[in-house]
Every structure is written in C-alpha cells, then in structure tokens.
Structure 1
Amino acid sequence: MQNIFYAETRDEKINKIAELKLDVFIDDLEEVLTDKSFPKETRKVLFGSGTITDTEISTMHSWREVGDELFGEIDSRVILAGAKHVCPDLNCTSVQRVEGRGNSKIFRVETSDGSIALKVYPDLAVDNRLRRNAEWQALNFLQQNKMRVPRPVQTDSELNWSLIEWIDGAPADPRNQAHLDQAASFIKNLHQASHAITSGNEFGLATEACLNPSFIENQINNRLAALESVEDSALREFIDNDLSPTLVRTIESSRCLLVDNYDAILDKKYWTLSPSDFGLHNAIATPQGDLVFFDFEYFGWDDPVKLTADVCLHPGMSLDENAQQRWISEAKKLFADDSNFGLRLNALYPLYAIRWALIMLNEYRSDKIKNRLNAQSRMQSDIRGAQLKQLEKAKSMLKNADRTVL
C-alpha cells in the first residue's frame, strides 16, 4: 500500500489534508470535519451511525454507501462478475436491472439454462436485519413442503446476495377470486407445515411479530418517535390532530375488549409461520394460471391475527370490503382451533390499521428512504411528491381504525 500518512494531532491531520489537496476526506470524528482550519475545497464525509446538522458534511453509515456515493452504484458489469463468482457453473451471460418496489435491488441474470433473479439485500451496516438468511431459510423450507415459491439457487453471505429462480408471468390480481383462493390455500398449507415442525427453534420470530397487543403498541410508539424530529407541517398536523387521538381511543377500546389477555403472550400452540409481508402484491400468475409467491425476507413465527389483518390492510392488496370479509371468513375457518381468534382480530384490527398508516409514512424517515432509493432508482427525482402521496394514503388507512370487522 502506498500514500499512507500518520498524524499525531488534529492540526497535523488537517495540514496534511490541505497539502494533499484531497477531493474528499472521510473521518469518524466530527471535530476534525468541523475544525475552522479544515480546507474548504475538500468534501467532508462523517462515517458512522451518528447524524450531524452541518449541511456541508455528508453522513454515510457504511463502505457500500461510500462507494455508491463517490463512484456510483454497482452496475450490470459488476453484478455479472459477482454472479459468475457466486455461481460459476451457471454460465451467466448478461444482467439487467429490474425496478423494485421494496428495499432490495433485483437484477435479471441470463444464463445458458435460462433466467434467474439476483437479489441484492440492503446494506447490513444500515439495516442489520438478516433478510437474506431469513429468505433463504424460508425458500428452502417452502420448497421442501412443495409450495409454489421460486427455487433457491445460490446465496453468498459476504456479498449479501442471493440467486433465485426467475418466474415469468403477470402480477396477481386482488380482484380475481381464483387468485384470492390460491392465496388462502397457500396460508392453509403453510399453517399445516408449521404444525409439522418438531422443533420450534428452526425459525425465529417474523419481523415485527406481534404476540401480544403490547408488541403492536410498542411498534406504533417507536414509529411515532422516529417521525418526531421530522419538520413538516402537513405531517405534524396529521399525526397530532388525527392519528395520535385515534391511537389513544383505540388502545383504550382494545384493552376493554381483551381485558387480562392484553398483556399476555399468545400460547405457542396458536402461533403460525408467516411470510409477514404476504399478499397478492408478492405473487406472480404464471401463463398456466398458478400463483407463485415470493419475498420472504421477514419470514418467521407470528400471531395468525396479524397475518390476517395485514392481508386485509396491505396497500399492495387493495382489497375491497367484500374481498376482505371473504379473506377473514377463510382465516376464521383455518384458525378455528384458536377460540380467541375472532376476539383478538376485532380488538387489534384498528391498531394494525394505525401501524400501517405509520408504515406508509416511511418516506419521511431518512433511515427508510435510503432503502427505498436502493431499490427504486426513479424515486430519487421526486421524494417530496412520494411523501405527499404517502401522506394521503396514510389518511385513508387511518379510517380503518374505526371499522368493525366481525
């Protein structure tokens, strides 16, 4: 290695930066970057988990983020080289970026045997949830149980990538009763597979699992806290005048309905394995009419009430009231051995609606918008427009907190 310099003091370091006429300097010490003698021509980057109000200093949380910012995002050429490294036997020939909806980057990789999907998960230094591990484990389990999911091909923990079977087809349609029936069958088969597991330690909890109402309440409060520092008058007006009063009223009502069960953890025998982000928004209809379900980054154990409510409320599903009632009717039959299922659903559905309203406001959060931009390159040009659109959706979602579902 060449051009390595050691400075014993801050002044020595800053003088060396000036002498070298650096374009960019990265440091984890804020006091170096804010020093009055720091050269004005050098771009300042604060590295680490902290934040800073100085507009002249960029904050970056990982070396992947630094690389993307300074040298541009990884392109198809780099992805192709990575795919050949991860799976050399596939004879990968070309790569094309596919615009995503969520938080991971998707590429279509052409091989001598056809197409496969290459999924680049969010940077672990920014989002430490083990999405790749969870999805890889889930896909293998679901394949073993002969459920319609993409075949896992290869994964790489160092790159935080996975290669998965590419599925050709059209998006599933929530207005199509046959598609809704297939979704219900998938959950039925998954629930049966859940009960066939001899050791509950094979899977952890689903992401943001809610095994008692206080879990939901805590998640809502955490999401509210994350929005507290956002300076936006329209957002503040919605939260202060609409969402917060609804939350207080809803918690009181839920506690009255559940009484002693509000703080009790759901008995394990009623848990079910859940994709956590399940619905027709994560399904492809093949030319033969079969649905293939994908996106299992959040897979794990959860209360079936949360699974049921999430399918009804997920904005990607857009179920009308009749379709929601059909789904709830199927869920009641599937989870009939849980005598309190209906009571919990009625009591907690409004809280899940509030939680979803806050999820829709993720575009206002700096920690979440980075993941969105990671997957959706076109979003960069109109973040403000996306925020206002999501705010209107959150207002509509909040109306579900006043609904009775049973």
Structure 2
Amino acid sequence: MLDTDELLAAAGRLCAVAERPAPLSLRQLAGGKNNRVFAVATAGGPALILKSYHADPRDPRDRLFAEWSFLAYVWDRGVRAVPEPLAQERESHTALYTLVPGEKLDAGDITSDHIAQAARFICAANGAPREPDRLQPGSEACFSLADHVATVDRRVARLATLDPDAPHRERAETLVRTGLAPAWAKVRETIRAASDTATLPTAAQCISPSDFGFHNALVDGSGRVSFIDFEYAGRDDPAKLVCDFFCCPEIPVPLRHRGAFIDSLAEGLGLDAAFRLRCDLLLDAYRIKWACIILNDFLPMDAARRDFANPGARDARCAAQLDKAVAKLAEIGLR
C-alpha cells in the first residue's frame, strides 16, 4: 500500500501527464470500500480526484482497467454525468479524474426525477455508436440464466467457510446455514424451471456501470445527478443492472419506481419482452446475491480489501453487515 509521500508523487506524475497544475496536498475522502480516494489540491487549479486501487494476486479483477475503460467509452459518447478520466498509471495502481460536485442522497429523498436521470444515464452510456464489444464483460457478467444461477451459486459457496477470526462468526454461520442457503435453494429451482438456455445476443446486452445505484451518485444544488465508481463496469445483461439497482442495500431504491425504470431502459435500449421477464425472474436471486455481498466482511480476502480502504473497525462492520443481510433476505418475494 502506497504511503502519503508515494501517493503525492504519483499524483504529481499524473497531473503532469494530464497537463494539470501540480498537486499540493491530498485529503482522503470517506466512503471508499475497496479503494482509497483522495481530493487533490492543486497549485492554482480546481481540485482533482486521485484513486489508489486495491490490488491483490488472489483477486484477478483489474479495477483500474475496468473503471478507466468505462469512463473513456462513455466520455467519447458525450456523457458528462461522470468524472473525466485524465491520466492513469498502471504501475502504482493509481488514476486521476476530475472532481464531480455534489452530495450523497438519503434514501428518503429519492424522487421520480432522480430515477429518470439514472435511466437516461444508462441510455446515454449505450448511445450511438453502440459498441458493447468494445468493453470486456463486467464483473460477474451474465449472458444466460445459467450464468446468473452460477454467479449466485459461487457467492453462496464462498460463505460455506468463513474467516475463523471474524467477529460474530458464529451468528453469521447460523444465518448462512438456516436462512440464506435454504432461500437460495428455493429461488434457484424457480429459475431453473424457466428452462431458458438461450445465450443473450449482443444486441440485447448493454454497457453497464455494475454496482449501479445512488450509493455511487452525487446530486448538486440544482438537482443534477452525477455517477461515480465504475471499477466493476463492462458488458452485461441489462436485467442484471436492473436487479442490482433495486437490491443494493446502501441507499435502497423504492420498488414503486421499478416499473418506470424498466420501461425507460426497454424503450431507450430497444429491449424486448424477454428483458422484462428476466427482470422479474431474477429479482429474488439478486436479493440473495446482495445478502452474500453484505456478508463479505466475514471472508478473509474481502476483509483485507475493506481494511485497505478503511483500516480498523471490523467488529462494528461485521455486526452491522449481519443486520443488513437479515433485512435483505426478508425482502424475498416482494414486488
């Protein structure tokens, strides 16, 4: 992990490449779960953002490559509701971006206009020339129902062996054994009964931010929504995007907006009835997947990544994540 002097030096090299004023200081921003994010004060210019990406040989995901590729793709299409990618340095796992103004939304403040802006962003990101093959598949991308099932299977299987040193491990093991695993067995059979073995054609795929929701959004004083954090982005099933959007627990999106969001994507991306059917069929599967994600703090590698972004406080994190996982599983069956 780079220390403060090394990060400031990396910021200096990146600012030089981007032809921006030299950095004066760094201030770490709160909220990063996998990476460290810093506001960069510059000599006579606007503040910028430096991201230091977590890298681990046990985790093959290249978060810097995914985020940079997505931002370059959508920026080329005139999308401006995102940070501008300025410079990257593969060796130090760092990149420089413009700073997007705004504040996080509270769940109770989400309006139909915010939902409409989110849908327009996805449609604009997939605007002409629409070339989904230009991006690699996103993290855990799914191109068939079997892919969706396999993704959740892997998530559930990982929870079979928890970190023995994790706080509240016994309670987590009980929840997995008596709640999460049986729920997945039932939902899994419902999906398998659909007997749809088709592979999603390229025309029905989309460029997806992945991990898409208002937890990765900022709203400025005029109500304009901007979107951030695309380290899992890539080509994917738009139905997965919809399910993630309504299942992510950090800033939950009320289900009453689901129909309008699906309608907007179907119209904007030219998607057929099969897309709507997948959105309905997969919703509970993604509730279970998100319950698994919530419990990642009980896995050694994921706990190490959290500590990279925000050292300490694992006991409190684990206790809070258990409560969130219970709440997410309680949503199963809601429409």
- Whether TM exceeds 0.5 here: the answer is yes
1:247 matched to 2:180: no
Within a 5 Å distance, the mapping from 1:112-131 to structure 2 comes to 112=43, 113-131=45-63
Structure 1, residues 112-166: CA drift from partner, whole Å, max 9, x if none? 2110000000124343311111111211121121211111111101111000001
Cα separation, 2, equivalents of 1:335 and 1:85 = 40
Structure 2 spans left out of the alignment, 5+ residues: none
Tell me, yes or no, if the aligned pair for 1:204 and 1:301 is still in contact at 8 Å.
yes
Cα separation, 1, equivalents of 2:133 and 2:279 = 27
Within a 5 Å distance, the mapping from 1:109-148 to structure 2 comes to 109-112=40-43, 113-147=45-79, 148=81
Match of 1:163 among 96, 100, 113: 96
Tell me, yes or no, if the aligned pair for 1:305 and 1:341 is still in contact at 8 Å.
yes
Cα separation, 1, equivalents of 2:280 and 2:258 = 13
In structure 1, what residue type is equivalent to 2:183? T
1:100 aligned partner: 31
Cα separation, 2, equivalents of 1:173 and 1:386 = 20
Structure 1, residues 145-193: CA drift from partner, whole Å, max 9, x if none? 1211111111101111000001222124552332222111111212334
In structure 2, what residue type is equivalent to 1:165? T
- Deviation, 1:223, is 2.0
Structure 1, residues 271-306: CA drift from partner, whole Å, max 9, x if none? 111001111211112233322211111111111110
Structure 1, residues 374-395: CA drift from partner, whole Å, max 9, x if none? 1123xx1x31221121112111
Structure 1, residues 304-362: CA drift from partner, whole Å, max 9, x if none? 11011111111123122323343334344445532212221221111111111101100
1:264 aligned partner: 198
1:197 aligned partner: 130
Structure 1 spans left out of the alignment, 5+ residues: 1-63, 65-72
Local SS of the residue matching 1:401:
coil
Local SS of the residue matching 2:154:
helix
Cα separation, 1, equivalents of 2:32 and 2:91 = 24
- TM-score in terms of structure 2 length: 0.90
Cα separation, 1, equivalents of 2:253 and 2:6 = 40
Cα separation, 1, equivalents of 2:264 and 2:133 = 28
Match of 2:85 among 152, 168, 175: 152
2:173 aligned partner: 236
Local SS of the residue matching 2:141:
coil
Local SS of the residue matching 1:352:
helix
Cα separation, 2, equivalents of 1:143 and 1:335 = 18
1:180 aligned partner: 115
2:274 aligned partner: 340
Local SS of the residue matching 1:114:
coil
Tell me, yes or no, if the aligned pair for 1:304 and 1:335 is still in contact at 8 Å.
no
1:320 aligned partner: 254
May I ask how many residue pairs the two structures share in their alignment? 323
Greater relative contact order (CA < 8 Å, ≥ 6 in sequence): 2
Within a 5 Å distance, the mapping from 1:36-75 to structure 2 comes to 64=1, 74-75=3-4
Cα separation, 1, equivalents of 2:178 and 2:14 = 52
Local SS of the residue matching 1:154:
strand
Structure 1, residues 191-227: CA drift from partner, whole Å, max 9, x if none? 334xx235x5411111111212222222222222322
Tell me, yes or no, if the aligned pair for 2:64 and 2:93 is still in contact at 8 Å.
yes
In structure 2, what residue type is equivalent to 1:338? D
Q: Which has the larger radius of gyration?
A: 1
In structure 2, what residue type is equivalent to 1:177? S
Deviates more, 1:92-101 or 1:355-364: 92-101
2:288 aligned partner: 354
Percent of residue pairs bearing the same amino acid type: 28
1:289 aligned partner: 223
In structure 2, what residue type is equivalent to 1:394? A
1:43 aligned partner: none
Cα separation, 2, equivalents of 1:293 and 1:272 = 17
2:232 aligned partner: 298
- TM-score in terms of structure 1 length: 0.75
Local SS of the residue matching 1:123:
coil
Match of 2:10 among 69, 75, 82: 82
In structure 1, what residue type is equivalent to 2:158? A
